[in-house]
Structure 1
């Protein structure tokens, strides 16, 4: 079985000289698809990274405001601050991070 495979491979190399190291373009059939696959992968990586990073600034501000509100609510729930301090700080957070959908 192995000898049959070896003889078939050597016959194929003799019939197609480009694969056997002689003149010809045999390796281009492998290199051209690999080149284009690499180009598409690089484009996907670069454009995907830019798309994920280019979120609107109000989304970032809104998520920062939500995070601050969640932290403040957690501190109030743990008893670190009282209700008047909680409401005063919550008002400051909401004043500094207005929701753009309300305007």
Structure 2
């Protein structure tokens, strides 16, 4: 009664054993890779994932950021002129003009 199938596995037995072994090693490798990535990320970036870090400020300063917002269409012409005049310390109706694309 020790061997139910007379000591031989059928085709399905070999198939199940093969799939089980592949899944087992895939699980072990996945856990190892995830642990390595988690440990290396916290060691190099101070625990903050790269996708959640704030973007570095633009090199051109506030006028550059304002010009980029105007170019993307986030603000209209009047708002651009008003904010640029405020940044430069002039009156809103004076010389600043929108950047040329």
Task: Using CA pairs under 8 Å that are at least 6 residues apart, name the structure with larger relative contact order, 1 or 2.
Answer: 1
Same fold (TM over 0.5): no
Query: Smaller-chain TM-score range?
Result: 0.3 to 0.5
- What's the TM-score, normalizing by structure 1? 0.38
**Between structures 1 and 2, the one with greater helix share:** 1
